[in-house]
Structure 1
Amino acid sequence: MFSIFKKKVLGDFSFLQTDLHNHILPGVDDGAKSINDSIELLQQMQQLGYKKIICTPHILGNIYPNNPTTILPALEKVKRVLNENNIAMQVEAAAEYMADENFVEAVEKKKPFLCFGEKKFILIEMSYLAPSPYLEQCVFQLILDGYQPVLAHPERYNYYHKQMNKYEQWKEKGCWLQLNALSLTGYYGKHVKQTAEKLLTAQLIDLLGTDLHHAQHMAALHYLCTTPYYKMLSQYPHFKNATI
């Protein structure tokens, strides 16, 4: 059913142990479309040295109206197929929440969130068009409620590229920052890549994620291992992935 041939691996990410941002669960968002896609991606993640995968499907209004009733069954399906094929991979699920009106309402009503780790990490993203007017109040309230907010791929928000102080301000507010590894390959464009470098150089990044959706992303991840950025990532002293 699944490939038994291993792709040649030019580097590995065992120094991270955990990937905490990806879209590997099948059929729930714009990531893996089928269980076959999911298992193939997980096998390659394993070959890259990852021990644990925390799947984070989008929760985004009417576009991806996910919740535990859509996410957790998909997780169980993946676990079952991994077990049936004797693939030893630890897989968990949380979510990537868009900081929109729905999220604000959930925060205000103290609804339970799909989070990960003992610190109750909650992954949050904003629109790429404009900063969310709600995020600051959400971060403040989530911290009061015992969560640890994590801002997903801050380097991809173009409106911050000339305002590096914004990243420092989020850190001061208690929000962790999660970089996409693919940003360093130029996958999202030159300016995103440059900002990713600046954030790493300033040691503002706490977590490294793949944001893996499909085979093209996986190919870019393998390519990253051939670049000087791979060594930069492997020697970065502040990634906390391994503690999650």
Structure 2
Amino acid sequence: MIDIHCHILPGVDDGSPDMETSLKLAKEAEKQGITAALVTPHHMDGEYTNHLVDVEKETEEFQKQIDANGINFKVFPGQEVHITGDLLKAIDNDDILFADPYNRYLMLELPHSGVPEYTENMLFELNARGITPVIVHPERNHGFQKDHDLLYKFVSQGAATQLTASSYVGVFGPEVEKFTEEIIAANLGTTFGSDAHNFKGRRYRMKDAYAKLAKQFGVKMASKYEYNAKAILNGDDIDQGDIKPIKKKKKFLGLF
């Protein structure tokens, strides 16, 4: 199992505060059956800036400590890049870490409050450069929650998505859980990520999520999600499948 989104790099953002906690999280990931992870500290979100060279250095040191503690777990440097007007400039300045060695996949975060008006143009510019934006946790974005067709539009135009395992098993409430299920049913989900931050609410739930996925949508769907996580990390083609719009709920017109 591959995790393409986590905040277990020590002391760089709102995730793990120190190496001791990070090593405990690495052990927990190993117990979950995760063999490798893309560490994705927040970048350019207005609060955290984690430059490429710094993340690479911190990840290398983290891996040394993982190996020294006998944990069978591999980490790769990455970023959860917040969408901003300066994104293309940061790419040109070689300050963006992609999810893979060939700069094909970019872990892209939108603000939780909604979808900025310039998002479609930014996705177009990224695609024009041969970059596939992987929209992280769309199920928790208020804009997509209000307008499901917007997510369908972006995926149909070439974006991929990373759903949060915790969302799918109800950690963020029943509405987010239901929306995650609807995204999966419409084939608008590409893969899972843990988005692990700590041992409380934002902990590893990957094993639970894959078990539920296999039960609810079948073993083939679970295998596809596992394959896509590995494909993104390796820079290979993903298997998105045949996508469709999320069905709108019919409103009941009662007589009062």
SS of alignment partner, residue 28 of structure 2: helix
Name whichever of 39-48 and 217-226 sits farther off. Answer: 217-226
Root-mean-square deviation over aligned CA pairs? 2.4
Cα displacement string for residues 113-151 of structure 1 (whole angstroms, at most 9, x for unaligned residues): 201224621001111112122322221121222222100
Letter in 2 for 1:83: D
Please state if 1:114 is matched with 2:121: no
- Residue 220 (structure 1) shift: 6.3
1:203 aligned partner:
187
**Whole-Å separation in 2 of the counterparts to 1:218 and 1:126:** 19
2:246 aligned partner:
none
Match of 1:188 among 155, 159, 172: 172
**Whole-Å separation in 2 of the counterparts to 1:140 and 1:157:** 20
**Whole-Å separation in 2 of the counterparts to 1:228 and 1:74:** 34
Match of 1:31 among 7, 15, 19: 15
Match of 1:148 among 116, 122, 132: 132
The change in CA–CA distance for 1:242 and 1:72 in structure 2 (over 3 A counts) is: closer
Asked if the contact 2:194/2:206 (under 8 Å) is kept, the reply is no
- Residue 229 (structure 1) shift: 5.1
**Whole-Å separation in 1 of the counterparts to 2:212 and 2:32:** 17
Please state if 1:85 is matched with 2:69: yes
Please state if 1:45 is matched with 2:33: no
Match of 1:157 among 141, 149, 154: 141
Cα displacement string for residues 190-243 of structure 1 (whole angstroms, at most 9, x for unaligned residues): 221111010011121111101110001465627936984563377225421133
When normalised by structure 1's length, the TM-score is 0.83
The change in CA–CA distance for 1:34 and 1:167 in structure 2 (over 3 A counts) is: same
Name whichever of 75-84 and 109-118 sits farther off. Answer: 109-118
Match of 2:156 among 168, 172, 189: 172
Figure out how many residues of one structure are paired with residues of the other and give that number.
Answer: 227
- Residue 73 (structure 1) shift: 2.0
Q: Which structure 2 residue ranges, 5 or more long, are not aligned?
A: 234-256
Asked if the contact 2:167/2:177 (under 8 Å) is kept, the reply is yes
The change in CA–CA distance for 1:45 and 1:234 in structure 2 (over 3 A counts) is: farther
Identity value in percent: 24
Asked if the contact 1:158/1:192 (under 8 Å) is kept, the reply is no
When normalised by structure 2's length, the TM-score is 0.80
Q: Which structure 1 residue ranges, 5 or more long, are not aligned?
A: 1-16
Q: Which has the higher contact order (CA 8 A, sep 6+)?
A: 1
The change in CA–CA distance for 1:127 and 1:143 in structure 2 (over 3 A counts) is: same
Letter in 1 for 2:98: C
Letter in 2 for 1:24: I
Cα displacement string for residues 78-126 of structure 1 (whole angstroms, at most 9, x for unaligned residues): 111112222221110110111123325435x464520122462100111
Please state if 1:56 is matched with 2:40: yes
